[in-house]
Chain A
Amino acid sequence: MRRILTVLAAAVVLGAALAGCGGSDGGAITVFTREDGSGTRSAFVEIVGIVENGNDNIYREAVVTPGTSVMMTNVAENPLGIGYASTGVALGDGRVKVLPIDGVFPTAENMLNGTYAIQRPFIIAYGSQAGLTVLARDFVDFIFSAQGQAVVAGRNYVPFVPTGAPEYTAGGLSGTVVVNGSSSVYDLMGYLSAAYRELNPNVRIDIHGAGTGHGINAVRDGLADIAMSSRDLRDSELTFLTPMVIAIDGIAVIVHPDNGVTGLTLDAVRDVFLGEVKEWDGVR
């Protein structure tokens, strides 16, 4: 018992000493990435070219941040960090700096004319065989209406049907629509459903943000009416799903606001996320 006590006491002292010692290293880049399976991640690695033989080859030492918000907070707290997130989220959050890529800033215009390269569609999909219920069809009609697309534009996303969308009129329906999928689309879907429910107070829309893959499985298994995806659907998924693009979203490369870097080339982004450039001096 005496020996145990000595060990305990020593551990307390050592712990205190360890907590007190200092020192940190210089300009090493901290790379933040989203988790495997995230729609944002797979779109990002594909466009930036961090894929080898079809396999995601992102820097193994990259810190994995599960969720958009975790990514944002980490980059906002780390002066040497770099990460990526939906432009709809990143542009609306003053805590991080969004970098121009090859001199092009991710504005709606630059995404529509294609000069900002890192962009992907937000997709909703339903089962090809079962089709949509009357209620779900009504909600989809709303999303593609002038009112629905106005919600999209109002939240820093790029409407897929910018002009000439039809007006929506409520049909007085009631019931429940279940939506499941990408956590990136989740936010936008929340605003869409809020706007829809102002016109249709008797309809309940249950939105789960369990991830793109999860949403697709849920629709396949009949557990959800509509799946949300933040990437293009794969061929195997297109055999049972009918996709529709509801908006275009860029992926912003983000750094700490105190970071001196004012822009990166797409090649530099690739090098950083491949782990080939490890110091900020290497890209400046």
Chain B
Amino acid sequence: MGRRTLVAWKKVCNREFVAKVIFIVSASAAVLAVGLICVFLLVQGLPAMWDIGIVSFLTGTDWRPTWTPPLFGILPMILGSLYVTVGAVFFGVPVGIFAAVFMARFCPPYLYKVLKPAVNLLAGIPSVVYGYFGMVVLVPFVRGHIGGNGNSILTASILLGMMILPTIITISESAIRAVPEEIYEGAVALGASHERAVFFTVLPAAKSGVFAAVILGIGRAVGETMAVRMVAGNQAVLRMPHEILSGTRTLTANVVIELGYAADEHRQALIATGVVLFVFIMGINIAFSMLKKKDGL
């Protein structure tokens, strides 16, 4: 081997090494970000929670920030977030998954050319626009055809279900497409119909991707702020699960509605609300990753 080739080899090795380091550092960015978010939210939010009392903060049913003395109980908001998220999953996930299956396996090419950009567009519609639409179209619709005054858990659930559709469809579709063709062909070769092969072999094979889609969908529903606060009614009142035609306030709405006005203790209580939201998300993620491990995905 000549000297020249040796130098060239070294250069390649170096380049490989440098690239690898860059890739690892990039991969650490997400970890760093989560660390910073944890530290800074906790430092700001925990003292307030401590002052109010963690138990009375989390289980208090009265949110009266302007009273003397103020009451900071966020149980109504915790339940509110829970209800609208469950509602969004109820409306959005089944439709989303079936639509994704359609797009990946049933869709004629001419239709796909229209549908794919349509779903992308749905993803791009800003939540303020959804909120405005919800306020002037969905709220009167629910009031007129279903009941209640329209600003309700149900309305928020329908709107959120609409909003998480593109997330569910896009991620599920790419997961279904990533399933090797042999799995489908094998099922068909064994005599399964197209539907049977798709729904009972391909879709199960794409399970982890579809679960990821649902996680992202839940994330979007829990975190949605601007649209929910326009349609949910925003009453900080404790609701039971059957009161879906009554209004509710979510954790996110609580923060965004009052942060502009809040000072001192009130402001810290709102940051603490953000901390609770954050802890919820962590909880969901840990539960799902444990579920995944158990399923051996």
Contacts and interface: CB of A to CB of B under 8 A. Distances in A.
Interface string B140-171: 10011111111100000010000000000000
B117 to A, nearest CB: 24
Interface in A1-34: 1-2, 5, 8-9, 11-12, 15, 18-19, 21-25, 28, 30
A137 B96 CA distance: 58
Nearest to B261: A37
Contacts of B136: 73, 77
Interface residues of B, number: 49
Interface in B219-251: 229-230, 233-237, 246-247, 249
Contacts of A211: 260-261
B200 interface: yes
Nearest to A81: B149
Interface string A70-81: 100110011011
B136 to A, nearest CB: 6
B68 interface: yes
B84 interface: no
Given A15-B90, A78-B149, A213-B262, A55 B230 contact: no
Interface in A55-113: 55-56, 60-66, 70, 73-74, 77-78, 80-81
Interface string B263-277: 100100000000000
Interface stretch (B44-52, B59-67, B283-291): B59-67
A55 B203 contact: no
B66 A63 contact: no
A35 interface: yes
Contacts of A9: 94
Most buried by B among A30, A37, A60: A37
A193 interface: no
A197 interface: no
B258 A35 contact: yes
A228 B71 CA distance: 27
B118 interface: no
Contacts of B233: 63-64
A70 B135 contact: yes
Given A8-B97, A12-B95, A64-B235, A70 B261 contact: no
B147 A25 contact: yes
Given A23-B147, A61-B237, A63-B149, A1 B65 contact: no
A61 B245 CA distance: 12
B53 interface: no
A244 to B, nearest CB: 22
B98 interface: yes
Contacts of B148: 24-25
Nearest to A208: B260
A36 B188 CA distance: 62
Given A5-B199, A63-B149, A74-B135, A37 B260 contact: yes
Given A1-B200, A63-B233, A37 B90 contact: no
A119 interface: no
Given A12-B95, A66-B229, A36 B261 contact: yes
Contacts of B95: 12, 15
B135 A73 contact: yes
A37 B234 CA distance: 14
A204 interface: no
A210 interface: yes
A256 to B, nearest CB: 11
B186 interface: no
Contacts of A15: 90-91, 94-95
B180 interface: no
Nearest to A212: B261
B237 A60 contact: yes
Contact of B263 (A63, A65, A70, A213): A213
A30 B150 CA distance: 10
Contacts of A2: 200
B235 A36 contact: no
B260 to A, nearest CB: 4
The 3 A-B pairs with the shortest beta carbon distances in the complex, nearest first, are: A37-B261, A64-B234, A211-B260
Given A37-B260, A74-B151, A77-B150, 8 more contacts: A15-B95, A18-B146, A24-B148, A61-B235, A61-B247, A66-B256, A210-B260, A213-B260
19 contacts: A8-B97, A23-B147, A24-B146, A30-B150, A35-B257, A35-B261, A36-B64, A36-B66, A37-B66, A55-B64, A61-B235, A63-B235, A64-B257, A65-B234, A77-B150, A78-B143, A80-B149, A81-B149, A213-B262
Interface of A: 1-2, 5, 8-9, 11-12, 15, 18-19, 21-25, 28, 30, 35-38, 42, 54-56, 60-66, 70, 73-74, 77-78, 80-81, 210-214, 217
